[in-house]
Amino acid sequence: MLGGLYTVKAFDPIKFIPNGVYLTGFHSNWPTEHVMHALFAFISEHRLVPHVGKTFAFSDIRSALLALDEGRVNGKIVVQI
């Protein structure tokens, strides 16, 4: 869908996604700009700081995904681009 396609030729999720694996999605036109400004204002006002568990370079994205899959990081995983 990111490329403007709403279907993938010859792709049947029932056939191709193995048991125990989940296909999910989200609608990225929400939240609105107003909601994002309100969210960041709230974070700033209350001095909230996200718990970053580990940061990876983009070139090491494989390690980041393994850490995510294995649950080895306590906190957010950040990938620097």
pLDDT digits 0-9 by tens, 2-55 = 566 667 777 777 788 888 887 777 666 678 889 889 989 999 999 998 889 999
pLDDT for position 58: 96
Contact of 64 with 79, CB cutoff 8 Å: yes
pLDDT for position 38: 94
Burial bucket for residue 73 (CB in 10 Å: 0-12, 13-18, 19+): middle
